[in-house]
Amino acid sequence: MAVNEPDPRGPLRAIGRQLRAVLITAHIFAVFILAFPAPSGGMNRSAWSDPTVQAEFVSWSARLQAMGLESSPESLEETLWSWAQSYMQRRRDLLKPFMPYYRYCGTYQTWRMFIAPHRNPARLHIDIYEDGEWRPVYIARHPQHDWKGELLDHERMRSAIFRYAWKHYGRSYKHFGEWIAAEAAEEFPEATLIRLRYERFRTPTPEQVREENRPPSTFVHPRTFQLETFR
Amino acid sequence: MRAWRRWVALLDRREVGTTMALCRILIGAAALYTILNDVSIVTPVLLDVSEGGYRPLGEGPFLVRWLGGPSKELTFGLIAANIASSVALIAGVLPRVMALVCLQAHIAVADLNTQAGGSYDELLSNALWLMVFARSDTTLSLLCRLRTGRWTDRETLVPAWPRYLLMFQLLLVYTSTGTQKLSTHWLPGGDLGALYYILLQPSWSRFDMSWLAWVFPVTQAATLGTWLFEVFAPLLLIAMWGRSDRVKAGPLRRLLCRIEYRDLFAFFGVMMHLTIHAVMEVGPFSVISLAFYPALWHPDEWARMARVIGTASRRSAATSSPSRTPDRPAG
């Protein structure tokens, strides 16, 4: 092409540059609004009644009172609940046009990672009933009681097992228990029952650990299965 | 209008492909690591209850639905596609196509059981999506070797904007998670016990971390450091802007450049991810996060680093090998 001859692709190239900038801007906007802080996944009243969440209300209410703002934990919870509901509704409307982009292109942005330590975590215990007594076969992170440890300690299962300690995952917890029972029925032919339960405890403060005065734990969400039905 | 013109001009920038090639290799390696990690738990976790899985998977994610619903054959086929495309991405064989294949296979496999996943799945899919648009095979790839007879090519230029988007994505992750850390255990003014208590949670710890009670102040410092690092991550954008235009930079940009904020940020981030990987079981999250880090450096900076390392290794080889000059006879 001669030096002075206009580039026939010039206008197209200019449009292409503008279009690219528009699309990149749309991408940035789409991922930014989805990543913007929101209580997604936490809009569940039973999850809000968890002791860890309740402790946060108590703590924040005390903070606000120290700043001269009158607020009880209960009123703070109610205010936040109604605010969160309306915020989430507006957020849903805003995100709606971008949903296909998140779904098909893998651009979901849910970065709520360890936003608060779970002060009342739960540890999964699996026991079998054999020779007239209960015997532990799996306790999460226990070096000896590690039946199925390769699976249950895998990060994908940790994620699932963490969820099943919350009430609203009760159905999946039941499915998980049935699968575990079927496996145990084969591997422990003498056992008659299997029990899954979570040991819930308050994480000890540094002082409590140093003084060997850990808070007592309680067992929650027990589920027992007759192994005979799985044989 | 002026701001828009500057934005269009910024997205028009081109650079040598070294940085994008490094990102491609690391993102491909992270994808491979992620899928190989899942191979041992396919049957109980990623298959439907009718085929040995522990829970009903329903219709599955969109690709699985389009291909007839969850089945053993489809799941293993997707895993094979995931592995093959990750390897191709590392090698630099049709990287844009392979990134798309890897992305779709990854979404399909990871979303089969939505209760058994983590943020790392989304971080990886975001990285792969950006690699679909990146021209990352001009250097450090099989294509480069076939085209030029060498493994590296310092002449072919590629668009720089995918690198900017990788950087933006990394900062978005940190800022989003940091600004949502509203627990009194995280915030300055609270007890700064967040990391201590998180590391005591049996779900995520690799081993018993009760010994942290004796070094609680260290965990408090780490909590504050992590919170500050995440919440103030956007400062990196200002620092990078300052680096690109030092003459017009204001006092904040000049300060961030003077203290080499980008390098401090990267050092803290890398240390944080290595520590998380060592003490917590959160899957390949750290591995995937670190795959974004090469994007923080311009290809010219990578070339300078390679020269420095090359010179140092040549010097080290020269001093450790026996002298070529024959020893003088005694006397």
Are B246 and B257 in contact by the 8 Å Cβ rule? The answer is yes
From the list A103, A163, A210, the residue facing B62 with the nearest CB is A103
pLDDT of residue B54: 97
Please say whether the dihedral angle defined by the alpha carbons of residues B5, B10, B11 and B14, taken in this order, is positive or negative: positive
pLDDT at position B323 over 80 = no
What order do you get walking across the sheet with A193-200 strand by strand?
Answer: A133-139, A122-130, A193-200, A218-226
* Cβ proximity of A45 and A98 under 8 Å: no
- What's the DSSP call for residue B188? T
Q: Hey, are the CB atoms on A155 and B282 less than 8 Å from each other?
A: yes
Smallest Cα distance from B95 to chain A, Å: 16
Are B198 and A114 inside 8 Å of each other by CB?
Answer: yes
> Please, are residues A72 and A61 in contact by the beta-carbon 8 Å criterion?
yes
Please give the pLDDT value at position A8.
63
- Taking an 8 Å cut-off on Cβ atoms, the answer to whether B176 and A162 are in contact is no
Exposure class string for B295-326: b at 16+ Cβ within 10 A, else e? bbbbbeebeeeeeeeeeeeeeeeeeeeeeeee
Q: Is the pLDDT of residue B331 over 60?
A: no
CB half-sphere exposure, A40, CA atoms < 13 A? 18
CB A229 within 8 A of CB A194: no
CA distances, B252 to each of B236, B244, B256 (Å): 11, 14, 6
Q: A47-77, pLDDT tens digit by residue?
A: 788 888 888 899 889 888 988 888 899 999 9
Query: DSSP string covering B220-257, please?
Result: HHHHHHHHHHHHTTTHHHHHHHHHH-TTT--HHHHHHH
CB contact under 8 A, A106 and B193: no
Strands, E, within A71-160: which ranges? Answer: 122-130, 133-139
Considering all CA atoms of chain B, what is the largest pairwise distance in Å, rounded to the nearest integer?
Answer: 90
List pLDDT tens digits, range B98-121.
999 999 999 999 999 999 999 999
Q: Check CB contact of A141 with chain B, cutoff 8 Å.
A: yes
B192-250 pLDDT, tens digit each: 999 999 999 999 999 899 999 999 999 999 999 999 999 999 999 998 887 776 667 78
Closest by Cβ to A157, choosing from B41, B165, B208:
B41
Distance between CA atoms of residues B210 and B196, nearest Å? 9
CA distance, residue B203 to nearest chain A CA (Å): 6
Predicted confidence at residue B169, as pLDDT, reads 98
Is residue B328 over pLDDT 50? no
Q: Encode pLDDT of A146-171 as tens digits.
A: 999 999 999 999 999 999 999 889 99
Identity (one letter) of the amino acid at A175?
Answer: H
Could you give the ipTM of this predicted complex? 0.93
| CB–CB contact A106 B129 (8 Å) | yes
Determine contact: A213 vs chain B, CB below 8 A: no
Between A168 and B330, the more confident residue is A168
Residues 6 or more apart in contact with residue B73 via CB below 8 angstroms? none
Q: Which strand (E) or helix (H) includes residue A146?
A: none
In chain B, alpha helices (H): 2-11, 18-38, 62-66, 72-91, 95-110, 119-133, 142-148, 161-179, 194-199, 216-231, 235-244, 251-258, 261-279, 285-292, 299-320
What is the per-residue pLDDT across B291-322, written as a single tens digit (0 to 9) for each? 999 999 999 999 999 999 999 988 888 887 76
A180 touches chain B (CB under 8 A): yes
**Residue A221: φ, ψ to 5°:** 50, 50
Whole-structure pTM value: 0.92
CA distance B205 to A141: 8
The percent of residues above 90 in pLDDT, for chain B, comes to 85
What's the CA gap between A157 and A53, in Å, rounded? 24
Q: Does A40 touch chain B (CB under 8 A)?
A: no
The CA distances from residue B10 to A17, A28, A208, B20, in Å, are 11, 15, 56, 17
CA angle A185–A191–A195, rounded 5-degree value: 80
Best mutation target, B12, B176, B210, B218, to test chain A (most A CBs within 10 A) = B176
* A67 Cβ under 8 Å from any chain B Cβ: no
* Rounded Cα–Cα distance for residues A205 and B142 (Å): 55
Q: Looking at residue B226, what is its pLDDT?
A: 97
Query: Reduced to 3 states, what is the DSSP secondary structure of residue A112?
Result: coil
Q: What does the mean pLDDT of chain A come to?
A: 92
